[in-house]
Amino acid sequence: MNKLRPLDPIDFAPADLVTAPVSATNPATMRAEVADALVALFEAARAEAALELQSQSAYRSYQTQRTIYANGVAANGVDFTDRFSARPGHSEHQTGLAVDIGVPSGECSFDACFGELPAGQWLAENAHRFGFLLRYPDGAQPIVGFDYEPWHFRYIGVELAAEMRAHGIATLEEFFGLPPAPDYAD
Ligand SMILES: [Zn+2]
C-alpha cells in the first residue's frame, strides 16, 4: 500500500493483533507473525551487536491515524503533513505490519539521524533477515511518497525480503512494477 493504494475497506483492522513482548514507548501492538519476527530481530541486535532496540509506534487504527493526521494538518498544513504522516486508510501502521524502531535513550527518535546511529545502521543491514523492509529509503520519495524514514520498518516476510535484497531492489513499488506514488491522487 502507498499514497495511491489505500486499504480496502478504508477502516480495515487486522484480526490477529497481539502485543509484542519487547521494550516499547507505546503499546507494541502488531499482527502475531510480526511480533514473533520483531522479538527475534531485537534479540539478534542484542546478541550480535550489543544493541538495545525499542518499538516506538506500531499498530495505529483508522481512528487514531485520523486524529494524528488532523492534528498535523492543523499545526503544519496539508502539504507539510503529507510528507511525513499518512492520511487515514493509507498508513502502513493500520495494517499491523509496520513498526517504528528506536533506541531506549530516545536519541534521533523519528529523525533522519537515526540512520547514522549504530542501531540504525545495524537495522538497515540486518532487518531483512527477519522479514523487515526499510520502507522509505533515502532518496526514494518520488517512488514511495515519503521522505527518508530510517526508523520505519514494514514486515514483508523473510522470503520476499531476501529476494528483494538479492536483486538489489529497495522498494516494493519497483519490485512489483507498481507505479510510483509520490503523492495522493486527489
Ligand atoms: Zn512508521
Structure confidence by residue, pLDDT tens digits, 139-166: 999 999 999 999 999 999 999 999 999 9
Instruction: Quote the percentage of the chain above a pLDDT of 90.
Output: 96
| Cα of 91 from ligand 1 centre, angstroms | 8
84 — pLDDT class (breaks 50, 70, 90): confident
| Cα of 141 from ligand 1 centre, angstroms | 15
pLDDT digits (tens, 9 = 90+) for 13-49: 999 999 999 999 999 999 999 999 999 999 999 999 9
| Cα of 38 from ligand 1 centre, angstroms | 14
Distance between CA atoms of residues 33 and 105, nearest Å: 27
pLDDT digits (tens, 9 = 90+) for 88-121: 999 999 999 999 999 999 999 999 999 999 999 9
Query: If you average pLDDT over every residue of the chain, what do you get?
Result: 97
Q: Are 20 and 30 in contact (CB under 8 A)?
A: yes
Which residues are bridge partners to 5 per DSSP? 2
If we measure between CA atoms, which residue out of 129, 125, 136, 128 comes closest to residue 171?
136
pLDDT digits (tens, 9 = 90+) for 113-139: 999 999 999 999 999 999 999 999 999
The per-residue pLDDT for 34 is 98
| Cα of 168 from ligand 1 centre, angstroms | 23
The angle formed by the CA atoms of residues 174, 147 and 103, to the nearest 5 degrees, is 105
The per-residue pLDDT for 122 is 98
Q: CB neighbours of 105 closer than 8 A, spacing ≥ 6?
A: none
Q: What is the DSSP string of the chain?
A: -BTTB--SSTT---S-EEE-SS-BSS--EEEHHHHHHHHHHHHHHHHHH----EEEE----HHHHHHHHHHHHHHH-HHHHHHHSPPTTS-GGGGT-EEEEE-TT-TTTTSGGGGGSHHHHHHHHHGGGGTEEE-S-TT-HHHHSS---TTEEEE--HHHHHHHHHHT---HHHHTTPPP-SS---
Assess whether pLDDT exceeds 90 at residue 67. Answer: yes
| Cα of 130 from ligand 1 centre, angstroms | 17
Instruction: Quote the percentage of the chain above a pLDDT of 70.
Output: 100
Distance between CA atoms of residues 139 and 141, nearest Å: 6
Catalytic residues: 149
The per-residue pLDDT for 123 is 98
Assess whether pLDDT exceeds 80 at residue 186. Answer: no
Assess whether pLDDT exceeds 80 at residue 55. Answer: yes
